[in-house]
Amino acid sequence: MDNLIFSLNATVPIFLLMLLGLFFHRLGWIDDVFASKMNKFVFLIPLPVMLFEDLATVDFAEAWDTRFVLFCFAVTLISIAAAAGISYLLRDRGIQGEFIQASYRSSAALLGIAFIQNIYGSAGMAPLMIIGSVPLYNVMAVVVLSFFQPERRPLDKELWKKTLKGIVTNPIIIGIVVGLLWSALRIPLPPILSKTVDNIGATATPLGLMAMGASFDLKKVKGKVKPAIFASAMKLVVFAAIFLPVAVWLGFREEELVAILIMLGSATTVSCFVMARNMGHEGVLTSSVVMLTTLLSAFTLTGWLYILRTMGFI
């Protein structure tokens, strides 16, 4: 029972904030425009600031873990390859690109940090997990959505340049890099600056989760039911079932294991839909998977945490 309570304490507050956002949207207090702007604000300011603070205030040598970063990178790459192979079983080849991206691309930054922070009180290993997976998420999303376009157009060099520039200028990546450099150079964080940074970073999780909840639309789930359920199962269950035992076997525990769990088994990120639409895809399958995984991850993540806690790994 204690393990179940631990798991519920880790997941329920996260999804209550999302439900609060949905409730405020229904009341009209948060409209679509405001939710979109709030999402953008969290991405640009509080989230990078929170990541910076978590890394800037720890010892660089202690924070960096090459083995962990390489594991996250390798698992992400294998997951993408597996999703691409399975996509050839689909009857409708026009949705292959959407299926692949929605099957592997997690909401690692927002949900990952929220979960680890809720359990351990800080972002923990989430920044290193982001370094190992998120840049690869973005690069491979371009490859996948370009190569598997419904009309199969050739890869666009300008699109490549734009994506690579987007990775380099990504606020989350910048926050992580600056935090690591700050820590490596052992630059002190004055109390006034530290308190200001802490106050800004503290707004990231509640604002981001409420904005995500306000953007939820159950009607979109009806778009393409069967492939959406298949992709959701891969995103929330299959990859985690395959790679979590490998992570345990390699000796990852506590915050490392929770970060890997979030990378493998959290909901598909909303940015998948934006990218799919901007690259010539219909977007119905992507939005369906985003909605399904967001809804169901409340249960699956609780289940995974319960299993890991019961087995004594976290």
- Convert the pLDDT of each residue in 189-225 to its tens digit: 888 888 998 898 888 778 877 877 777 666 665 657 8
Q: What backbone phi and psi angles, to 5 degrees, belong to 112? A: -60, -50
Range of the domain at 225: 2-310
Q: What backbone phi and psi angles, to 5 degrees, belong to 89? A: -80, -10
Q: Which stretches of 109-224 are DSSP H helices?
A: 113-120, 126-147, 157-168, 171-184, 191-201, 204-214
For 251, counting Cβ atoms within 10 Å of its Cβ (0-12 exposed, 13-18 middle, 19+ buried), the class is: exposed
Reported pTM: 0.77
Among 262, 274, 313, 234, residue whose Cα is nearest residue 132: 262
Please tell me what DSSP assigns to residue 170. Answer: -
Q: What is the pLDDT of residue 11?
A: 66
> How many domains does the chain fold into?
1
Q: Which residues of the chain have pLDDT under 50?
A: none
Q: What is the pLDDT of residue 232?
A: 93
| Cα gap 217→252, rounded to integer Å | 37
Q: What is the pLDDT of residue 122?
A: 66
Q: What is the pLDDT of residue 6?
A: 62
Q: What is the pLDDT of residue 77?
A: 95
| Cα gap 272→280, rounded to integer Å | 13
Q: What is the pLDDT of residue 218?
A: 64
Q: What is the pLDDT of residue 274?
A: 66
Show the CA angle centred on residue 174, arms to residues 36 and 30, nearest 5°.
15
Q: What is the pLDDT of residue 7?
A: 60
User: Please, which residues bridge with residue 268 across strands?
Assistant: 106
Classify 162 as helix, strand or coil: helix
Among 24, 64, 9, 17, residue whose Cα is nearest residue 42: 17
